[in-house]
C-alpha cells in the first residue's frame, strides 16, 4: 500500500456523493473542512494534499480514519465501528453511536485483565479461511476523553487534534495484547437507558434481522460500504458474520453509581480472561 503527499483530482465520476465526499467503485475523494483533501484508489493508494493549517496529527487522524476505512472496503474487508478486548482468546467487541462508550468500555475491561485488542475499528475478513469470523485489529492505541483516562488508568499520549481544541487524547490501554487477529464471537450494541428507566442494566440478544441492521448501521462509514464494496458482497459478508457472532443490545443507566456494575455485567457475559490471551 502507498500513502503519499501529492496532487489530488478536483473531482471523479462519482456515482454517490455528499458535502465532503465523492464515491465511485474503487475510488473515494474526500474533502476535509481544514482544506486537506484525500484520494483513496483501488485499495492500494492514498494520496493527500495538506490544508493550509493542517498539522501532522490532523492528517494522521483522517488517514487512520475515513481513508483507512474506505481502503478496507476496496480490499473486500468490512470495517466495523467498534472497540474490543479478548476473552478466552476470542474477540468481544463494543459498537454504538459516537459517545456510547465503546473505547471506555474496552479500557475498563483491560483494567480488569482482559487484553485490549482494538479501538474504534474492527476489521472483518469475510474471505479468511478457518472457523469463525476472523477479524483484524484496526488501531492499537485508544482515543479517550480526559475524564475516561482518569477513570481507566490509561497512559495519555498526544492530543488527537493538532490545535488541541478538544479534550481527547491517544492513550496506551492498561493491558495491551500483541495479538492482531482473532475470531469475533460477541458483539455488544451499547445504549444508554433513557428517562426514568429503573432497571440498572439489560442485555438482550437480537434476532437475526435486527442484528443485521444493527451491524449495518455501525459499519465504519456505512454510506461508503455498498458503493466501494458492492451490495451483494456486503450482504454475503454480513450473513457470514451473523452465522458466527452473537449480537446483543446492552442498555445501561448513566451515573457513577452504575459505573462498576455495568462493567461487572459485561464481564460476566463474556467470561474470564484466560492466560492464553496474553
Give the whole-number percent of the chain exceeding pLDDT 70: 94
Task: Give residue-wise pLDDT tens across range 84-109.
Answer: 999 999 999 999 988 788 988 998 89
How far is residue 131 CA from its own chain's centroid?
23
Q: What pLDDT does 196 receive?
A: 61
Q: In this predicted structure, which of 159-163, 196-200, 205-209, 242-246 has the lowest mean pLDDT? A: 196-200
3-class SS string, the chain: CEEEECCCCCCCCCCEECCCEEEECCEEEEECCCCCEEEEECCCEEEEECCCCCCHHHHHHHHHHHHHHHHHHHCCCEEEEEEEEEECCEEEEEECCCCCCHHHHHHHHHHCCCCEEECCEEEECCCCCCCCEEEEECCCCEEEEHHHHHHHCCEEEEECCCCCCCCEEEEECCCECCCCEEEEEEEEEEEECCCCCCCCEEEEECCHHHHHHHHHHCECCHHHHHHHHCHHHHHHHHHHHHHHCEEEEEEECCCHHHHHHHHHHHHHHHCCCCHHHC
pTM: 0.88
Task: Give residue-wise pLDDT tens across range 235-271.
Answer: 999 999 999 999 999 998 777 677 788 889 899 999 9
Q: What average pLDDT score do residues 46-66 get?
A: 91
Is the confidence at residue 278, as pLDDT, over 70? no
Contacts of 49 (CB under 8 A, 6+ apart): 5, 6, 7, 8, 36, 37
How far is residue 209 CA from its own chain's centroid?
22
Task: Give residue-wise pLDDT tens across range 153-174.
Answer: 777 777 777 665 677 777 787 7
Cell of 192: 444508554
Q: What average pLDDT score do residues 62-71 get?
A: 93
Cell of 21: 465526499
CA 54 – CA 61 distance, rounded (Å): 11
Amino acid at each position: 500500500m502507498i500513502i503519499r503527499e501529492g496532487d489530488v483530482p478536483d473531482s471523479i465520476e462519482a456515482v454517490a456523493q455528499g458535502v465532503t465526499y465523492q464515491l465511485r467503485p474503487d475510488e473515494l475523494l474526500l474533502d476535509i473542512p481544514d482544506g486537506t483533501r484525500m484520494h483513496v484508489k483501488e485499495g492500494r493508494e492514498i494520496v493527500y494534499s495538506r490544508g493550509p493549517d493542517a498539522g501532522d496529527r490532523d492528517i494522521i487522524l483522517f488517514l487512520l480514519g475515513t481513508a483507512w476505512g474506505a481502503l478496507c472496503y476496496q480490499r473486500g474487508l468490512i470495517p466495523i465501528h467498534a472497540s474490543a478486548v479478548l476473552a478466552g482468546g476470542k474477540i468481544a467487541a463494543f459498537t454504538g453511536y459516537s459517545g456510547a462508550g465503546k473505547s471506555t468500555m474496552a479500557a475498563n475491561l483491560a483494567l480488569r485483565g482482559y487484553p485490549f485488542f482494538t479501538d474504534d475499528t474492527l476489521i472483518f475478513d469475510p474471505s479468511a479461511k478457518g472457523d469463525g469470523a476472523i477479524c483484524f485489529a484496526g488501531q492499537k492505541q485508544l482515543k479517550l476523553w480526559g475524564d475516561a483516562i482518569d477513570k481507566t488508568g490509561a497512559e495519555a499520549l498526544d492530543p488527537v487534534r493538532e490545535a488541541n481544541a478538544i479534550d481527547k487524547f491517544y492513550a496506551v490501554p492498561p493491558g495491551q495484547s500483541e495479538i492482531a487477529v482473532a475470531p469475533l464471537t460477541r458483539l455488544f450494541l451499547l445504549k444508554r437507558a433513557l428517562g426514568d428507566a429503573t432497571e440498572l442494566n439489560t442485555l438482550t440478544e437480537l434476532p437475526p434481522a435486527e442484528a443485521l441492521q444493527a451491524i449495518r448501521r455501525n459499519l465504519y462509514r456505512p454510506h461508503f460500504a455498498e458503493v466501494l464494496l458492492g451490495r451483494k458482497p456486503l450482504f454475503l459478508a454480513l450473513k457470514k458474520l451473523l452465522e458466527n457472532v452473537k449480537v446483543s443490545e446492552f442498555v445501561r443507566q448513566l451515573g457513577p453509581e452504575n459505573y462498576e456494575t455495568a462493567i461487572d455485567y459485561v464481564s460476566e457475559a463474556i467470561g474470564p480472561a484466560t492466560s492464553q490471551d496474553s
